[in-house]
Amino acid sequence: MKPHRIGILFVHGIQGNPRQFDFLIKRLPLDICCQNLLLPGHGATTKEFKKAAKEQWLDAVKNASTQLRAKCDRIVFVGHSMGCLLGLQAQQELKLYSAMLLLCCPFTLRPTWRYFKNSISANLTKGKTDDPFIKAAWDANGVSAKHSLSYFFCAHPYLELFRIIKSVKNQRLIVPKETLFCFSELDEIVSKQSLLYAREALGAKTELLKGCGHNYFTPAAQSRLVNTVQNIIKSNESP
């Protein structure tokens, strides 16, 4: 028997960071093997971020999955935004995940004025605000810059994101039976068409998180997601 029965791989989204999953990881049982991945080009400056490519991101997810599987009997995948797409692609190739929890999966993007407002306000205030959406946008940022305008010159990683979306949607995706797509009611960038795509095209279970944004999850939603992960762990503990 392997050292751990269950392993959980967390993968953040584009320009995100592993801290986004803290509210989930802190509530995990101590015997769970957890890996919170930092994607290439993240955790540093815009200079490194501009060089990041989809092949690097996908290789990082596949390598982390393979390493985790060597230590665990089963792997649960938890992703946010672009991390969801990378997980879906990795599952197509490796078929290692027994369950997936996918938050704000961007099958279709439709940036709203709130997205630009929150992004600009987050950088101008450095997160020092009472607005939970703006604070969440700052806390989720995993790429540092000397000036907020520097982010507007990082076109390449976002073009890579669109390529990933196209690639994933062009495949006949087969997700694990225990897969849940959670979308936010007030998402500033992911279109509601994404929920319909997950439900109708993939036949997957979906849930709409009330009062949440792309990066901001209400206390009630956080508790709901914690319970979801805990239930997934229990259902995967059996031999």
In a domain, 121, yes or no: no
Average confidence (pLDDT) over 184-212: 96
**Band of the pLDDT at 199, cuts 50, 70, 90?**
very high
In a domain, 44, yes or no: yes
- Residue 49 buriedness (CB in 10 A; 0-12 / 13-18 / 19+): buried
Q: Which residue has 């036949």 as its token pair?
A: 203
In a domain, 147, yes or no: no
pLDDT at 239 over 70: no
Q: DSSP H helical segments within 72-190, as ranges?
A: 82-94, 113-125, 132-140, 155-169
Average confidence (pLDDT) over 170-174: 92
Angle in degrees, 0-180, between the axes of helices 113-125 and 132-140, rounded to the nearest 10: 70
In a domain, 143, yes or no: no
Question: Which one-letter amino acid corresponds to residue 187?
Answer: D
pLDDT at 147 over 90: no
Domain that holds residue 11: 4-113+155-236
What's residue 80's pLDDT?
A: 98
Structure tokens at 220: 């009630």
In a domain, 224, yes or no: yes
Total number of domains in the chain? 1
Structure tokens at 27: 């509530």
pLDDT at 8 over 80: yes
What's residue 210's pLDDT?
A: 98
- The predicted-structure confidence for 48-65, as pLDDT tens digits, reads as follows 999 999 999 999 999 999
Q: Are 17 and 36 in contact (CB under 8 A)?
A: no
What's residue 1's pLDDT?
A: 59
In a domain, 39, yes or no: yes
Q: How would you classify the pairing of strands 178-184 and 205-209? A: parallel
In a domain, 228, yes or no: yes
| 47 closest CA partner among 163, 147, 164, 165 | 147
In a domain, 75, yes or no: yes
- The predicted-structure confidence for 75-116, as pLDDT tens digits, reads as follows 999 999 999 999 999 999 999 999 999 999 999 999 888 888
Tell how far CA 175 is from the center of its chain. Answer: 16
Q: What is the CATH number of the domain that holds 226?
A: 3.40.50.1820
